[in-house]
Chain A
């Protein structure tokens, strides 16, 4: 019977960690090779696309989406999409998609180029070829080379806050139940006695 408890908590924490891994920002150092726009009609995987109706018709499912093609330091490709998140979830409040596309376009450099232009892409989301989902690029800035160290401050702060509040809740939960056991269970005996 105790396996049920383990499985439940295992699934719970897997869900929490997956959610955080998807939503919190990550940084990749890549070389941009192309930017393009493609018509997309999200169906089963629409959870992983943003339709943030910043000015456009919110009911239309088919729309044109910006993409940014990049290569990582190990010469493997990584494609990002570039969509507004608007006022919706996740709370990046990204409205400057077109600006970002222009900046990305400006920093393209092919493999054969003498000086490859390396950039950091801050993004959230997952790349999964099987489901055709792409991470959403939030901002881009140039860096000197592929070996720069990026410290993910926002992730650190948010995870610390979450851990602190989880611990605070756990402590109070324990205190409450320990208090109840000591007092014993009278019929109306909940309180400070």
Chain B
């Protein structure tokens, strides 16, 4: 049981670090894209408003929710391995 706790705790820490890193990277890429989009669209209106609207859209988007896969994929993989190794 102790080994399971160890795996869960270290796994949680490692996956959370990975999730945060990917989150920040994704958000910074999105912000740069917004800045470029504003330039390319002919600078319509206030720069900051444009960017913040774009970022608000990002917060609701599928792309952001896909980052949760960082938690889901390893857990599903482990469960599949346990089933295949022990129950087949």
Contact = CB atoms under 8 A, between A and B. Distances in A.
8 contacts: A53-B2, A86-B3, A93-B81, A94-B85, A95-B86, A96-B85, A99-B86, A138-B85
Nearest to A93: B82
Contacts of A92: 81, 85
Given A93-B78, A93-B82, A139 B4 contact: no
A184 interface: no
B2 A93 contact: no
Interface string A1-45: 000000000000000000000000000000000000000000000
Given A86-B3, A93-B78, 16 more contacts: A52-B3, A58-B3, A87-B4, A87-B6, A87-B7, A88-B3, A93-B81, A93-B82, A93-B85, A94-B86, A95-B82, A96-B85, A96-B86, A99-B86, A139-B85, A139-B88
Given A96-B86, A139-B88, A91 B3 contact: no
A139 B4 CA distance: 22
Interface of B: 2-4, 6-7, 78, 81-82, 85-88
Contacts of A96: 85-87
Nearest to B77: A91
Given A96-B86, A139-B85, A139-B88, A91 B2 contact: no
Nearest to B11: A87
A58 B6 CA distance: 14
Contacts of A93: 78, 81-82, 85-86
A52 B85 CA distance: 16
B80 to A, nearest CB: 10
Interface in A62-88: 86-88
B75 to A, nearest CB: 12
Contact of A91 (B78, B86, B87, B88): B78
Nearest to B88: A139
